[in-house]
Amino acid sequence: MTAQLLVDSRSVLGECVLWCERSAVLYWTDIEGACLYGWQAADGFVRWWRMPERLGSFALCERPHQLLLGLASGIALIDLAREAMTPVVPVEPGTPTTRINDGRCDPQGRFVFGMFNQAPDGAPLGHFYRVDAELRVERLPLPPVSVANSIAFSPDGSRMYFTDSPTREIRCAAYDAAGRIGTPRVFARLGAGEGEPDGSVVDAEGGLWNAQWDGGCVVRYAPDGSESARLALPASRPTCPAFGGPGLDRLFVSTARTGLDAAALRGQPHAGGVFALSPGWRGLPERRFATRLRP
């Protein structure tokens, strides 16, 4: 299966690709470029919005043109049409080396996210959090992390997935409507030389699709943790997959070019772009952040 280059965005650190089925727009962020992008399926036009700081992840909202932003320093709401934003709710202000990284909405419309420690030692100083409809931030009872990623939920919402990328283990835990989290266990483990688990998305059959940083591929794991598909990409650092298109049967993948030297970039000139594949599975509509607040 050949990956198609959808947008040659050359993002330094492309991440958090999300499909809005209502507007037929594919969104993603270039974290290091502090930009949000939107590709319009109708005409291929790409819009962009400059962010006030790095945008690690975001979520669609029920209100048109509104997104929940996981900015480096905290949480905010933005209206893209008016370019109006609420004040930022700080997260981990006492730990200056951490910033918000991966995040996704749970079935109840709460945004669950984790942190990334930018310090050279990469110590597990950050935590996982959940944001409710009033933008209240709650720390979750999960182990501290250095690079939180792979946050996703099973179709019925009874299981949460997550990882601390350098451990090369994707973990899962029971998750209920009240927000209670069970004891985490290892769901899948990447072998030496296979890269690190980055962002993930779950398909309609409950399979977890994981972008594997420095692995140059997206891997599907069945609900029991066994590998059931592996799709190669012409970029060594895929970061996040998302199902989209009218039938939710296309797999979009964001990638990064950060840390690649000149020789590596000559071999993968479209690194940092967004790619599309037809994997043979269908996804689910992205869950939306449930709030009545507005910027």
* Rounded mean pLDDT, 98-120: 97
**Amino acid 64: pLDDT:** 93
Give the model's confidence band at 1: pLDDT under 50 very low, under 70 low, under 90 confident, else very high: confident
Q: For residue 288, is it within any domain?
A: no
In a domain, 243, yes or no: yes
In a domain, 295, yes or no: no
Classify residue 231: in a domain, yes or no.
Answer: yes
Domain that holds residue 214: 4-277
Domain assignment of residue 292, yes or no = no
Domain tally for the chain?
1
**In which band, very low, low, confident or very high, does the pLDDT at 222 lie, cut at 50, 70 and 90?**
very high
At 110-159, the pLDDT tens digits run 999 999 999 999 999 999 999 999 999 999 999 999 999 999 999 999 99
Q: How does pLDDT run across 278-288, given as a tens digit for each residue?
A: 999 999 999 99
pTM attached to this predicted model:
0.98
Q: Determine, yes or no, domain membership for 148.
A: yes
CATH number at residue 187: 2.120.10.30
Q: Which of 187, 190, 239 lies closest to 213 in space, CA to CA?
A: 239
* Both tokens assigned to 252: 């979009």
Structural domain contains residue 183: yes
Task: Identify the pLDDT of residue 211.
Answer: 98
Question: Using one digit for the tens of pLDDT, what is the confidence trace for 247-259?
Answer: 999 999 999 999 9
